[in-house]
Amino acid sequence: MNDITPETPEITPVERRALRAAAHALQPVVAISQKGLSAGVLNEIDASLKSHELIKVKVHGIEREDRAALLNEICATLHCAPVQHIGNILILWRENPEKAAPAPAKPRRAAKPRTKKQAAAALEKRRPSR
């Protein structure tokens, strides 16, 4: 994870911790077998990153050193950030700029007064002071 190219997004340790926590409940969406990284696998990882932003990739039958190189190759090719590499699982993240920003929250309406005393207090707040 140390050989990050300049095109890969940088994530802070706080962001990495939050992404690892969010990825905990995820299931792997792509599996890489002994045949390694092919164009089809890269396309599938790219499509998954576009739709989910945060994904897990399961690696089968590849040695530890080769898995680290594989992670660096995926991140360099697809411009994604490595979040975690633990055992046979790789966690990748890439922000999707096409996703719509969340709508701003609507202002909440004030609750209706339930008692006469609350109604009088609400009326006092609305009156201009002299």
Buried b vs exposed e over 60-77: b needs ≥16 C-beta within 10 Å?
eebeeeebbebbbebbee
**75 found inside a domain:** yes
What is the residue-level pLDDT of the chain in tens, covering all 130 positions?
445 444 677 899 999 999 999 999 999 999 999 888 999 999 999 999 999 999 999 999 888 889 999 999 999 999 999 999 999 999 999 988 777 566 667 777 777 777 888 888 888 887 776 6
End-to-end CA, the chain = 67
pLDDT at position 130 is 61
Residues 69, 32: contact at Cβ < 8 Å? no
How many structural domains compose the chain? 1
Q: In the structure encoding, which two tokens stand for residue 9, read together? A: 């997004």
Rounded to 10°, the helix 39-52/64-78 angle is: 60
In whole angstroms, what is the distance from residue 52 CA to residue 66 CA?
26
CATH classification of the domain holding 84: 3.30.110.60
Q: What is the pTM of this model?
A: 0.70
